[in-house]
Amino acid sequence: MMTWWNSVTCWLAAPWLAVARGWWLLGGFVVLLALLGTYLWSRRRKLRRLRDQAAVRAVRAAAEAEREHFRSLPRSSVDFGFAVDESPVDDGRTVALTPEQEAFVRQQLAIGNERVDARSCEGGTVLRAEGGREALVLDVPVRRRAARAGSVVDRRPPVRGSGDVRIDLRWPDEVLIDEYGDVKGYFAPALEDTFLARSGVSEDPTPRTLEELISGEDPVLTPFRRVEIARSVCGWLLAQHRVGLINAQVDPRYLLVDESVTRVTPVHYRGLRLFGSGGWSQAGGGSHADDRAGFARLAWRLLWPRGTDPRAWLDADSAIEGLDDVRSDRVRFLLRRGLGPAAAAPTMEEWAAAL
């Protein structure tokens, strides 16, 4: 009986054992093919890498040989610089300048080579230019294309006058470039002589800054005039923020006043940039919060009467000279916020409503 059952079992299992043996052989063949393909691919990659390294070594050797050849040549006493090359070439045509080179030549002709009436400023040199303009040449410009900085020039903010003190907006009107088309400064309307002061007969005139008037307690800077200056600067900064600009230099050192203190003109827009992008002198310094904090410090220096206790003056209920009681309370509230962290400084809309 057991013999018959074993025979039937072997007869039924024989086909499945044959199929299993075939799958094992097929699997082993596939594994061998995969190993062979991996070996051939790695071998080919290694050979290609060796060929590339040989090509790089050949190029480096040729370059080094060329450098050695030029080093062996006698040195010339001629200083090579950028020059207009209009000489004919072999086929009779002339070499045309690129648009960047044409702009560079035009700007250099406008500035001239004599550097007449040049004056130094923080971060650059101001040069007189033709057409009633001047050029600010930055000491350490950031190498970036002029087209990327042109949006700052195009966003001239509309600034309205405020009472008896007017803002003269000497807005940059052209990007100053070098021979490679990179930014190295900007052109702006020339500074009028009324914003310059002479310390002596023979000394050169220097810009009359708002910082000097505040620190020296000039009597022409009356309380009413201080309030008007704060309103005008507030409107100037608010107009910039509304068009997406960051000034990055809200400081009385960069605000010039005329002899009668009825006109204020900002200078040195080297930190100016468009929100979300870099300017022409730095990649991304300053923020709207820094501008608001800078204006709060400026308003404090203009409105706080010298010789009084600062904390007691901030907490006082009396009116600020030049403002009524309601506006005085609002301004003191904004000053308490603005003299704290920059992120908590009031917006320019709040200042405009309070002043």
Measured between alpha carbons, how far is residue 167 from residues 229, 230, 255, 294 in Å? Answer: 9, 11, 10, 18
Q: Total structural domains in the chain?
A: 1
Tokens, residue 160: 């309205």
Residue 309's identity, in one-letter code, is D
* Position 42 in a domain: no
Residue pLDDT, tens place only, 110-134: 887 656 667 777 777 888 888 788 8
Residue pLDDT, tens place only, 171-220: 888 888 877 777 788 888 888 888 887 765 556 778 888 998 888 877 88
* Position 174 in a domain: yes
Task: Of 354, 232, 199, 230, give the one whose Cα is nearest residue 301.
Answer: 230
Which structural domain, as residue segments, surrounds residue 259? 101-194+205-354
Q: Are strands 263-266 and 166-167 parallel, antiparallel or unpaired?
A: parallel
CATH number of residue 170's parent domain: 1.10.510
pLDDT score of 276: 66
**Distance between CA atoms of residues 199 and 266, nearest Å:** 22
pLDDT score of 317: 85
Instruction: Looking at the chain, list the stretches that DSSP marks H as alpha helix, in order from N- to C-terminal side.
Output: 2-72, 99-111, 146-154, 210-216, 223-242, 288-303, 310-314, 325-338, 348-354
Count of Cβ atoms closer than 10 Å to residue 184 Cβ: 25
Percent of the chain with pLDDT over 70: 74
* Position 350 in a domain: yes
Q: SS3 of 151, please?
A: helix
Residue 148's identity, in one-letter code, is R
**Distance between CA atoms of residues 171 and 318, nearest Å:** 39
* Position 87 in a domain: no
**Distance between CA atoms of residues 192 and 133, nearest Å:** 10
- Under-50 pLDDT residues of the chain: 1, 76-86, 88-89, 283
* Position 58 in a domain: no
Q: Are strands 133-138 and 124-129 parallel, antiparallel or unpaired?
A: antiparallel
* Position 82 in a domain: no
* Position 52 in a domain: no
Q: Which neighbouring-strand residues pair with 121?
A: 124
> Alpha-carbon dihedral of residues 206, 210, 215, 221, nearest 10 degrees?
120
pLDDT score of 295: 93
pTM as predicted: 0.67
Q: What is the CA radius of gyration of the chain?
A: 37
* Position 316 in a domain: yes
Backbone angles phi, psi at 184, to 5 degrees: -135, 10
